[in-house]
Structure 1
Amino acid sequence: MASKALVAESPAPLAQGSPEEPSRRRQWGLLATGAVGGVLVALYAVVTPFLVPALRKVCLPFVPATSAQIQNVLKMLQGRSGSLADIGSGDGRVVIAAAKMGFKAVGYELNPWLVWYSRYRAWRDGVHHNTKFYISDLWKVSFSHYTNVVIFGVPQMMPQLEKKLKEELESNARIIACRFPFPCWIPDHTTGEGIDTVWAYDLKSPRGSESKCLETTPAAES
């Protein structure tokens, strides 16, 4: 009799189709949906800064500079002084290398993750006092107060950037282009080979101001 009483007091298992079973399924479904949603939001936050530049009409993708490219840029900066701007500074390696040479160097980069990483690298290398990094679109920045400008560009942007820099920079400025030269300017100095080639343009030099682009003018009326 005692055993029967114990069995009678034990809770009966939930019958299939009972009201509590769908409730538990809904709870697990809500938890799974929340977890997936959280992962998607996190991925969006991480990936968006990398994708947004690529969706622009003229993008400047992040491709880390090689050691040879850095050395060639530093060669073009020998004997130079003043401030330096790196357009599309990426992970900050050009800015940091220039700061170690004594330049007050500034990097402009659209990707906030790369900017934060650049600031960390500058602090780690002990040159954070001579460097600054800004989250900024290069087309919305004036480079008029810089005497040295470095650019790792892409062919689609070089003509427009050439015009922008010519309008903004002073006559003593030097522009250093990496990977791709400017379409109209004739470089004053060139070093490196292949993808490590670097071109330097001095705006004060008459040869550096020459243009290989032919400008057409309307014919005079007879």
Structure 2
Amino acid sequence: MAMEIKKTANPDCGCDPYLLSLVETAQGQQPMAKQSGRSMGLLLASITGGAAIALSVVCFPFVSPALRRVVLPYVPASTQQVENVMKALSKSNNGGKRLIDLGSGDGRIVLAAGQRGFQSHGVELNTVLVLYSKLAAWRQRIKNATFSRQDLFKVDYTKYNKIVIFGVEEMMPELEALFEKSLTSSSQIIACRFPLPNWKPSHVIGEGIDTVWVYEV
């Protein structure tokens, strides 16, 4: 062992051969430490990137509707709102049973209508909410309540005679124009939270945020 130390030491420097051997050992370990640091950095970067991608996948269904021309936020209908909509359906002048809920959210209007014998369908842009609604219909065994991911401006309204909309104020004029072009006679529109701007409702049920405006076409 002593012979190896003497070989690595410089006899002309006057330094302790043992100290020189420690310095050389430390210098040899520096590249290994740098390599270990790089590996740790890559690992942390991979974990951070993976977490960011996972978060994006989870959040995208909630964010993507906001990228469209009309934002229909998810605000669950209250129990009173659901009751008011059901009252409006029971007071309809036509006996139609084909209902569509525009922006159906978690599906509670569609499910309640389905339980009352309506062939009810909900359209919603949020994929997570569509899947949740389908699961709720399956668990409650409501076979006449269905859901799809669809833009409400691309719906064939001739298939329905009951239309429920929980809209925002900014979109109601555009919806009104759409209904004028698309609806057939003997249709009923139930607007919740905000009325259609130019049409006169046949009757109004409830008050405050639970108000529903009923239009007979």
- Which of 170, 186, 189 aligns to 2:200? It is 186
Contact kept? 1:178, 1:196, Cα under 8 Å: yes
Unaligned runs of 5+ in 2: 1-23
Distance 2:27 2:59 in 1: 47
Distance 1:17 1:157 in 2: 68
What is the DSSP-based 3-state SS (H/G/I as helix, E as strand, rest coil) of the residue aligned with 2:201? Answer: coil
Q: Per-residue CA shift, 1:138-181, capped at 9, x if unaligned?
A: 11222111010000001111111111112111110100000000
Whether 1:18 and 2:30 are equivalent positions in the alignment is: yes
What is the DSSP-based 3-state SS (H/G/I as helix, E as strand, rest coil) of the residue aligned with 2:82? Answer: helix
Alignment of 1:29-178 (within 5 A): 29-78=41-90, 80-127=95-142, 129-178=143-192
> Structure 1 counterpart of 2:70, which letter?
V
For 2:10, the equivalent position in structure 1 comes to none
Identity %: 47
- TM-score normalised over the length of structure 1: 0.82
Contact kept? 1:106, 1:133, Cα under 8 Å: yes
Contact kept? 2:97, 2:117, Cα under 8 Å: no
> Structure 2 counterpart of 1:149, which letter?
I
Q: How many residues align?
A: 191
Q: Which has the larger Rg? A: 2
What is the DSSP-based 3-state SS (H/G/I as helix, E as strand, rest coil) of the residue aligned with 2:100? Answer: strand
- TM-score normalised over the length of structure 2: 0.84
Distance 2:28 2:152 in 1: 64
> Structure 2 counterpart of 1:41, which letter?
I
1:48 CA drift (Å): 1.6
> Structure 1 counterpart of 2:105, which letter?
G
Distance 1:54 1:146 in 2: 27
Contact kept? 2:100, 2:164, Cα under 8 Å: yes
**When you count helix as a share of all residues, which structure comes out higher?**
2
